[in-house]
Amino acid sequence: MMAKPNDWRKNHRFNLQLPVHFRVSQRGETSRWASGVTCDMGSTGVTFRCRKALPVGAHIEMAIEWPERQDSYPMELLATGFVVSSSATKAVVNMTAHRFRVDLDPASPMGAIA
């Protein structure tokens, strides 16, 4: 899917349905992890389904479960960014940083890896 001339998403997006865990940071509020499923991703952004509208402009942390290949270790994409659009069922995030985390011990939960 290539960007349309008036589309604010300038980079190519890939239709990927992957589990995502996220938390939104807001002043004065405790952040809680929630989960959803990605709709599409590109090098600078991601759209995902969620259960409620997220605050536009809020900082967000995400852990996206990456598809496993048979000959590799489990991985997840860790990303931070800002919510640029949101509805009751979807959120769009502009990613400002991202990196992959590899689980070298598949017997341990991914959250236990630093």
For the chain, domain boundaries: 14-104
Q: What is the rounded average pLDDT of the residues 92-112?
A: 80
Is 14-104 in CATH node 3.40.50.2300?
Answer: no
pLDDT tens digits, 40-84? 999 899 999 999 999 999 999 999 999 877 777 889 999 999 999
- Quick count: other Cβ atoms within 10 Å of Cβ 80? 15
- Quick count: other Cβ atoms within 10 Å of Cβ 6? 5
Flag whether pLDDT at 110 surpasses 70.
no
Residue 54, beta-bridge partner list? none
Q: Confirm if 114 and 99 have CB atoms less than 8 A apart.
A: no
